[in-house]
C-alpha cells in the first residue's frame, strides 16, 4: 500500500476519532497504534512505553506544571484584582479610556501566567463588569479582551512555547526571548485600533464622572509592583542567563506565593485549589504530548513526512507560498483543534518542510504560536470565545464577530514577521551570543 493511501486512512481514522468526542490524547495513541499494527511489523506497545517515558520525563517538562501553578495562584489571589485598580488611573486619559486596561492587563498577566484562557478569564472577570457598568461599547470591550487574551500564548513564559520547544527540540530560552517583541507589537496594535475607533466615535468609551489625578496615578503604582516584580524575576533571570526556564518557573511559584501571602489572599483552600487546577491542566497537556510523540514516531516509520516533503518540493513553491499554504492549513485546524494538538499533530509534516525552505525553527515557533492565537478566537472551537461566553453569556459567533479586528491585526502580524523575520530573531541573536 502506498504512502498516500496510508496517510488518507490514518487521517480519516483521526477525523472519525475526534468527531466522536474521544479525548485528543487517546485519539493520538489509537491512530499511532493503528499505523504500527496494520502497516509496519513494529510492536506498538514496545515503542509506546519508550516514547511515553522519554516524552514526559525530561527536566524541561518540570517547567510546565510550575508555570501553570504560578498562573493558578495569581488567578485565585487578589494580585489580578489589584492589577485593574492599578492600571485604571493610567489608561483613563487615552482615547478608549479603560478599554486599554483590557489590553494592558492581559499583556502584564500574560507575562506571568503562560496561558491564554487563564489570561482571558482572569482579566475578563475583573474588567468586563466595570466596563459594561460604565456603558462602554459591548463589542469593543469583548473584542479587545478576546484578542488581547491570546497574548497569554505569545508573551513568555508560554505553555505553548514550552510544548513546541519540547516536541521540536528547540531552545525554550530562545523562544521566550523571541516572543517578547512580537507580543508587545501586537499589544500596541490592539491598543492602536481602540484609539482609532474611539477618536472617530468617542461615545464607544464615554467619559466617567471620576477624574484621576497624578496623585491617584502615583498611589496606584504599588498595586502594579507584584506583577512587574514577577515579570522581572522570571523573564529577567532567563534573558540574563541566570536561570533555566525550569529554575525561573520555580522562582515564579515562590514569588507568586509570597505576594499572595502579603496581600492576605492566600488561604489553605486557595492553595489546594491552585494545586488541583495545575495538576489537571498539566496532566492534560502531558497526555497530549505523549500521544502526539507516539503518533509522530508512527508517522515517521510510515515515511509520511518524507513523502509529503518530497511532493511539495516537486511543486517548486517559494518559501512565502509555503507559509501561505501552511497558514491556510493552520486556520482550518484552528477551527477544530486546541493549540497543543495543532502543534503536535502538524510538526511531523511541517517541520521538514520549514527546514527545507530555510526558515529558522525559532522563527517558525513564534509564527506557529500566532497561528494558535488566531485559533483561540475562531469558532466553533475558540477557547477564548468559550471563556468570554461563560463570563457574559453572549452568543459564541457574536463574540467572534466582535473579535474580527483582533483577528485581522494578528494576520497582519503574521505577514509582518514573515517579511521581516528579524523582528523575531533579533533579540535571541543579540542576547544569546
pLDDT, tens digit (0-9, with 9 covering 90-100), for 145-160: 999 989 988 888 787 8
pLDDT, tens digit (0-9, with 9 covering 90-100), for 395-418: 888 999 999 999 999 999 999 999
pLDDT, tens digit (0-9, with 9 covering 90-100), for 177-188: 899 899 999 999
Which cell numbers in the block locate residue 77? Answer: 489571589
Query: What is the arithmetic mean of pLDDT over 364-391?
Result: 85
Residue 60 pLDDT: 60
* DSSP secondary structure letter of residue 387: H
Query: What is the arithmetic mean of pLDDT over 53-66?
Result: 69
Whole-number mean pLDDT of the chain? 82
pLDDT, tens digit (0-9, with 9 covering 90-100), for 81-123: 787 778 888 887 788 888 898 898 888 878 777 778 777 877 8
pLDDT, tens digit (0-9, with 9 covering 90-100), for 281-297: 777 767 776 776 777 77
**Angle at alpha carbon of residue 370, lines to 230 and 284, rounded to 5°:** 70
Q: What pLDDT band is residue 59 in, cutting at 50, 70 and 90?
A: low
Q: What pLDDT band is residue 77 in, cutting at 50, 70 and 90?
A: confident
Residue 417 CA to residue 405 CA, distance in Å, equals 19
- Please give the share of the chain, as a percent, with pLDDT higher than 70: 91
Query: What is the arithmetic mean of pLDDT over 200-222?
Result: 82
pLDDT, tens digit (0-9, with 9 covering 90-100), for 118-128: 778 778 877 88
Count other Cβ atoms within 10 Å, centred on residue 41. Answer: 7
Which cell numbers in the block locate residue 66? Answer: 510550575
Q: Does the pLDDT value for residue 57 go beyond 70?
A: no
Most confident of 125-129, 237-241, 357-361: 357-361
Query: What is the arithmetic mean of pLDDT over 351-377?
Result: 90
Which cell numbers in the block locate residue 246? Answer: 525550569
Residue 256 pLDDT: 86
Residue 326 CA to residue 332 CA, distance in Å, equals 10
Query: What is the arithmetic mean of pLDDT over 44-63?
Result: 71
Tell the residue number behind the cell numbers 514577577, with chain if given: 230
Q: Does the pLDDT value for residue 432 go beyond 60?
A: no
**What are phi and psi for residue 170, nearest 5 degrees?**
-115, 145
Q: CB of 56 within 8 A of CB of 290?
A: yes
pLDDT, tens digit (0-9, with 9 covering 90-100), for 299-319: 777 777 667 666 766 777 788
Query: What is the arithmetic mean of pLDDT over 370-391?
Result: 83
Q: Does the pLDDT value for residue 68 go beyond 90?
A: no
Residue 58 pLDDT: 62
Residue 209 pLDDT: 65
Cis peptide upstream of residue 136 (ω within 30 degrees of 0): no
Whole-structure pTM value: 0.77
Transcribe 108-130 into DSSP letters.
Answer: HHHHHH--HHHHHHHHHHHHHHH
Count other Cβ atoms within 10 Å, centred on residue 409. Answer: 17
Residue 427 pLDDT: 84
Residue 243 pLDDT: 78
**Angle at alpha carbon of residue 216, lines to 212 and 220, rounded to 5°:** 125
Query: What are the residues whose beta carbons fall under 8 Å from the beta carbon of 378, sequence distance 6 or more?
Result: 331, 334, 335, 400, 407
Question: Which is more confident, 347 or 140?
Answer: 140
- Please give the share of the chain, as a percent, with pLDDT higher than 90: 18
Amino acid at each position: 500500500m502506498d504512502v498516500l493511501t496510508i496517510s488518507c486512512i490514518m487521517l480519516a481514522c483521526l477525523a472519525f476519532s475526534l468527531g466522536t468526542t474521544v479525548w485528543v490524547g487517546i485519539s493520538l495513541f489509537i491512530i499511532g497504534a493503528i499505523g504500527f499494527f496494520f502497516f509496519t511489523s513494529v510492536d506498538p506497545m514496545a515503542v509506546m512505553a519508550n516514547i511515553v517515558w522519554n516524552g514526559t520525563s525530561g527536566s524541561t517538562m518540570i517547567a510546565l506544571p510550575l508555570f501553570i501553578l504560578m498562573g493558578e495562584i495569581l488567578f485565585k489571589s487578589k494580585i489580578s484584582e489589584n492589577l485593574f485598580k492599578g492600571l485604571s488611573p493610567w489608561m483613563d486619559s487615552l482615547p478608549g479610556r479603560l478599554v486599554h486596561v483590557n489590553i494592558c492587563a492581559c499583556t502584564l498577566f500574560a507575562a506571568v501566567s503562560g496561558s491564554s484562557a487563564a489570561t482571558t478569564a482572569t482579566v475578563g472577570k475583573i474588567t468586563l463588569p466595570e466596563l459594561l457598568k460604565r456603558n462602554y461599547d459591548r463589542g469593543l470591550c469583548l473584542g479587545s479582551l478576546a484578542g488581547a487574551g491570546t497574548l497569554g500564548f505569545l508573551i513568555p513564559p508560554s505553555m505553548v512555547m514550552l510544548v513546541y520547544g519540547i516536541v521540536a527540540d528547540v531552545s525554550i530560552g530562545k523562544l521566550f526571548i523571541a516572543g517578547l517583541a512580537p507580543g508587545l507589537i501586537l499589544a500596541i496594535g490592539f491598543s492602536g485600533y481602540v484609539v482609532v475607533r474611539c477618536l472617530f466615535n468617542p461615545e464607544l468609551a464615554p467619559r466617567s464622572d471620576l477624574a484621576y489625578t497624578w496623585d491617584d496615578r502615583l498611589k496606584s503604582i504599588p498595586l502594579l509592583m507584584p506583577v512587574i516584580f514577577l515579570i522581572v524575576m522570571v523573564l529577567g533571570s532567563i534573558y540574563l542567563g541566570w536561570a533555566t526556564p525550569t529554575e525561573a518557573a520555580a522562582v515564579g511559584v515562590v514569588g507568586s506565593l509570597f505576594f499572595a501571602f502579603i496581600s492576605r489572599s492566600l488561604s489553605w483552600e486557595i492553595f489546594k485549589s491552585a494545586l488541583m487546577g495545575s495538576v489537571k491542566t498539566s496532566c492534560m497537556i502531558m497526555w497530549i504530548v505523549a500521544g502526539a510523540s507516539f503518533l509522530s514516531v508512527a508517522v515517521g516509520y510510515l515515511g509520511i513526512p518524507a513523502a509529503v516533503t518530497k511532493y511539495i518540493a516537486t511543486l517548486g513553491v517559494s518559501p512565502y507560498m509555503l507559509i501561505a499554504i501552511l497558514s491556510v492549513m493552520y486556520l482550518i485546524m484552528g477551527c477544530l483543534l486546541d493549540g497543543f494538538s495543532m502543534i503536535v499533530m502538524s510538526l511531523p509534516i511541517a517541520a521538514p518542510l520549514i527546514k527545507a525552505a530555510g526558515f529558522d525553527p525559532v522563527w517558525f515557533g513564534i509564527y506557529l504560536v500566532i497561528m494558535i492565537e488566531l485559533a483561540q478566537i475562531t469558532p466553533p472551537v475558540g477557547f477564548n470565545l468559550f471563556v468570554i461566553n461563560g463570563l457574559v453569556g453572549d452568543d459564541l459567533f457574536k463574540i467572534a464577530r466582535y473579535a474580527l479586528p483582533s483577528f485581522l491585526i494578528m494576520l497582519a502580524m503574521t505577514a509582518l514577521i514573515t517579511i521581516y523575520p528579524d523582528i523575531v530573531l533579533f533579540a535571541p541573536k543579540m542576547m544569546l551570543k
